[in-house]
Amino acid sequence: MASISIIGLGNMAKVLGARAAAGGNAVEFVGRDAGKASALARTVGGGSASVSMDAAPSGDLVILAVPWESAVPVVQQHGTALDGKIIIDITNTFDLGDYGGRHVPADTSVAQQIAEVAAETAQVFKAFNTIFGTVFSRNEQVDAFFAGNDGRAKEEVAAFIKSLGLRPVYAGPLVMARALEEAGLLVMGLGRWGEKNYEFSLAVRKRSDAGV
Ligand SMILES: NC(=O)c1ccc[n+]([C@@H]2O[C@H](COP(=O)([O-])OP(=O)(O)OC[C@H]3O[C@@H](n4cnc5c(N)ncnc54)[C@H](OP(=O)(O)O)[C@@H]3O)[C@@H](O)[C@H]2O)c1
């Protein structure tokens, strides 16, 4: 099991933190409001801890559960404290007002922008942005798409996803974070106009005769 720092104290921090703690990971919440952070750690339980934004995150995996526009500034704020860490970006970048396109240029993604400012020794991944918080909170096994460069860190991220009771589905190197960010917009559109609810998730369904 892994040690996890979750930066942000909102909906996704709570549901991710709860599943991570239940999965046997050491969870630390990192937030701007120390009282809110410790209250969240108490609510989630499972031995979870909290620290303020001034402290260096202690987890080997650092999850950015903040709005997309805060992701790069948060990584810059923590500077060398993130050296050697696995950074997991869960952000979606679209505008909920008009469901317009992503707020980053088409040839990049928030995750790639994070990689540009993070230490060379940090490994950046995109994950969880296609799963609604409501789905997360039900503790069911759903597909969790993730993207990031191949290697040992990829295996650690996959193991962490499994520890949450989810099925890791690798979408490719970090350049594929663009596709996952578009997929985040896709699930919102499906929820609003097609399914007319937010109680579903994207999945890979293999052909029964595929033989793989
Ligand atoms: N909700 C979903 O279903 C869902 C699903 C997939 C992905 N996402 C993505 O997950 C991310 C978090 O979503 P959410 O629903 O958890 O949002 P949320 O409930 O609004 O929580 C956002 C948290 O980010 C913190 N924050 C914002 N700027 C910060 C900064 N500069 N430094 C430190 N903390 C900062 C806020 O801190 P304060 O508490 O101090 O205000 C708040 O605790 C978003 O990028 C969203 O697109 C959400």
Q: What is the pLDDT along the chain (212 residues), one digit of tens a residue?
A: 899 999 999 999 999 999 999 999 999 999 999 999 999 999 999 999 999 999 999 999 999 999 999 999 999 999 999 999 999 999 999 877 777 777 899 899 999 999 999 999 999 999 999 999 999 999 899 999 999 998 999 999 999 999 999 999 999 999 999 999 999 999 999 999 999 999 999 999 988 887 77
Nearest CA to ligand 1 atom 15: 11
- With a Cβ cut-off of 6 Å, ligand 1 is lined by 7-13, 31-33, 36, 53, 65-68, 70, 73-74, 90-92, 128-129, 131-133
Q: Most distant CA pair in the chain: distance in Å?
A: 54
| pTM of the shown model | 0.97
Q: CA–CA separation, 68 vs 75, rounded Å?
A: 12
120/115 Cα distance (integer angstroms):
8
Beta carbons within 8 Å of 181's beta carbon, 6+ residues apart: 92, 93, 102, 104, 109, 110, 111, 126, 129
Q: How far is the CA of 73 from the centre of ligand 1 (A)?
A: 14
- Residue 14's contacts (CB-CB under 8 Å, 6 or more residues apart) are 40, 43, 44
Angle at 22 between CA 134 and CA 25, to 5 degrees: 115
